[in-house]
Amino acid sequence: MSINSIEELNALVARVKKAQRQYASFTQQQVDKIFRAAALAAADARIPLAKMAVAESGMGIVEDKVIKNHFASEYIYNAYKDEKTCGVLSEDDTFGTITIAEPVGIICGIVPTTNPTSTAIFKSLISLKTRNAIIFSPHPRAKEATNKAADIVLQAAIAAGAPKDLIGWIDQPSVELSNALMHHPDINLILATGGPGMVKAAYSSGKPAIGVGAGNTPVVIDETADIKRAVASILMSKTFDNGVICASEQSVVVVDSVYDAVRERFAKCGAVILNKKERKAVGGVLLKNGALNAAIVGQSAATIAEIAGIFVPENSKVLIGEVSATDVSEPFAHEKLSPTLAMYRAKDFSDAVDKAEQLVAMGGIGHTSCLYTDQDNQPERVAYFGQMMKTARILINTPASQGGIGDLYNFKLAPSLTLGCGSWGGNSISENVGPKHLINKKTVAKRAENMLWHKLPKSIYFRRGS
């Protein structure tokens, strides 16, 4: 049934609610069977879904979206397949406690246009793993791709034994329908990935919400860093899906003593160092009315150059603007979600960290930051950078796009396509979202006597018969 009106939305929510109540009684074994089947189906569809996402949204690169769909299905499955999410999670006989998992209920899933299929797959799978239902509000520019991804997961889940209405979506999304879904009395949680306006609306809905803040990832390269690895990692990350991942690098801050070497390496590896005139032209199209210009998001470096009215080789990887200001007046200092980078010269390591702090505070507080250094011989720099950066993910010698989403470059960073930014970014959590965030935990606490201790002297004297 097509969902195009408030009445149809209400009917959908009623069906999903009935399905979720039934699913809430499923065992861990039943849930894991459904989780596996859904993940396999999403992985099998990763290529056509990627093609569909690029064709509809006009953003990104098909091959990279294939990888993101693969990550959202196979990697997420392997990471969480053995996690207990149903019934008794743990028992502590010593202290007399039992921890029991319960589903949240019905989740409202907000999906961005930048990652329309991978985010839908990810949210569907972690909802299934936790016995929740989910209803998607897709971005209008990528609604067909998002809803197709959700339908593929749903059909596989049904074939594996799940109730038929466990996943739903809005066919023709609008502000009215999105708001109605977020404020619906039967929605129990909002899982929002999108622009600042949508995330703010989720937190203002009066519902429990998990939203993510904007990213503006600064990268510091100090004089002890492996320059070849640093530049290669940054270019690999920044060109991945044309830079649409919110954890991707936005600015590079380089210590003066190695600035020229880093600059030369970027140019040698396919980046374009813009001259003053070119920098002004590109800077003029990065923002529109003070906000990110949607026309450049997920476009290639050559396309952005064409929009700006300048010429660069067709195979150019990244457009780099050498700038000095770290405030809102500098277009290159903002989040750009495209293969464009700001490059700053710092006097020394301390100055580089100061500049990175300013960039984070200006637009990406709570999200991600990165440092390239000799991590084995500079532990004090790693520690100092970690102390100074107000970001939930502090990556060392790691491509930020792939490193921030977890599991690829650090196996203790939870794999996720929804990255929390904590109170700094106006979010409720400061870690990568996973199944543990979609369950309610009940604690059964048995009575235990509080034993009070007192010390006795070595010898005790008493009167017989007293």
Q: Could you give the residue numbers annotated as active site? A: 246
Q: 136 near 111, Cβ under 8 Å?
A: yes
The residues, ordered by sequence, that sit 6+ positions from 339 with a Cβ below 8 Å of its Cβ are 238, 239, 242, 243, 300, 301, 304, 317, 318, 319
Q: Which helix (H) or strand (E) element contains residue 445? A: strand 439-445
Secondary structure class of 8 (helix, strand, coil)? helix
* CA distances from residue 130 to 30, 292, 351 in whole angstroms, order as listed: 12, 36, 46
Which of 321, 295, 320 has its CA nearest to residue 306? 295
- Round to whole Å and give the CA distance between 422 and 431: 7
Q: 439 near 85, Cβ under 8 Å?
A: yes
The two tokens of residue 25 are 């009684």
* CA distances from residue 154 to 30, 42, 164, 265 in whole angstroms, order as listed: 15, 10, 8, 47
Q: 313 near 267, Cβ under 8 Å?
A: no
Produce one character per residue of 142-155: b if its CB has 16 or more CB atoms within 10 Å, e if not. Answer: bbbbbbbbbbbbbb
- Round to whole Å and give the CA distance between 66 and 53: 10
Instruction: Tally the residues of the chain.
Output: 466
CA angle 411, 217, 350 (to 5 degrees): 100
